[in-house]
Amino acid sequence: MSRWPRAVVLALLVGALGLRHAIAAEPGADARRSGFAFMAPSTQAMQRDDTQNPGMLWVGDGEASWRRKAGKADQACADCHGAASASMRGVAARLPDFDPRLERPVNLAERVNLCRERHQQAVPLRLESQELLSLEGFVAFQSRGMPIAPPTDARLAPFRERGQQLFRRRMGQLDLACTQCHDDSAGKRLASSVIPQAHPTGYPIYRLEWQSLGSLQRRLRGCLTGIRAEPFAYGSIELVNLELYLASRAAGLPLETPAVRP
């Protein structure tokens, strides 16, 4: 989604002019593309090289937090899970998943905080805080290269459906839906940028615009602000439902965490 309201309007004008997609697929081929495919070569090179990828700084901090004892239980993540390279392999690719106690889906950030509360007897980390993003980045990094594989739990179906409805719902003063940019106009140019397909392949992600690592929920809230809609609160079920639906759209695409974007 675009960052500025005027840019969203321009995207629709570009679509109306019928300009061809910047990236085309052969008939019958999977036309889905990660946002990586739409980036400039310099940004792609930054993501490919872990020594240049700024997101790896958060991954390193997350590894330290993984080994740090916390809470009344005086336990570290590693005390229960052992080496993250083995125990966390594939975990991020299967989230959001269903939590039986809460009777709803939870994403990676909430899964980390639930572990802190239930097993470490520690207070939850603030959403979008550096420590939580670092732990998310470290855990998700263990699944880098693995295909996104949303769980097939039937209990998730109504939540996924609500996420799909939100993706298609016109919102805000600009009366726009996510699908108008990321389905109808994906691959077309918006000024100097190409509109991506909105596949969550690299979160938490380092955006040059932010000069920081950030969650998918931060990006979704930014999009809502861009269309002049009231953004949902961090951790809201609406944002988790959107994450769940977006994961289903991206099923099979490889994880890139920590990805780099403009």
Q: Which residues are catalytic?
A: 223
Using alpha carbons, select from 207, 211, 208, 236 the residue that is nearest to residue 224. Answer: 236
| Residue 26 burial (CB count, 10 A) | 7
| Residue 232 DSSP code | P
Distances (CA, A) of 169 to 65, 101, 164, 176, 220: 39, 30, 9, 8, 14
- Do 65 and 134 meet the contact criterion of CB atoms below 8 Å apart? yes
- Residue 219: how many CA atoms within 13 Å on its side-chain side? 27
End-to-end Cα spacing for the chain:
13
**Torsion (CA) 40, 20, 250, 39 in degrees, nearest 10:** 0
Helix (H) or strand (E) holding 34: none
Distances (CA, A) of 226 to 5, 7, 147: 5, 9, 30
Using alpha carbons, select from 61, 219, 57, 214 the residue that is nearest to residue 127. Answer: 214
Q: CA–CA separation, 143 vs 88, rounded Å?
A: 7
Token readout for 7 is 């840019």
User: One-letter amino acid identity for 45?
Assistant: A
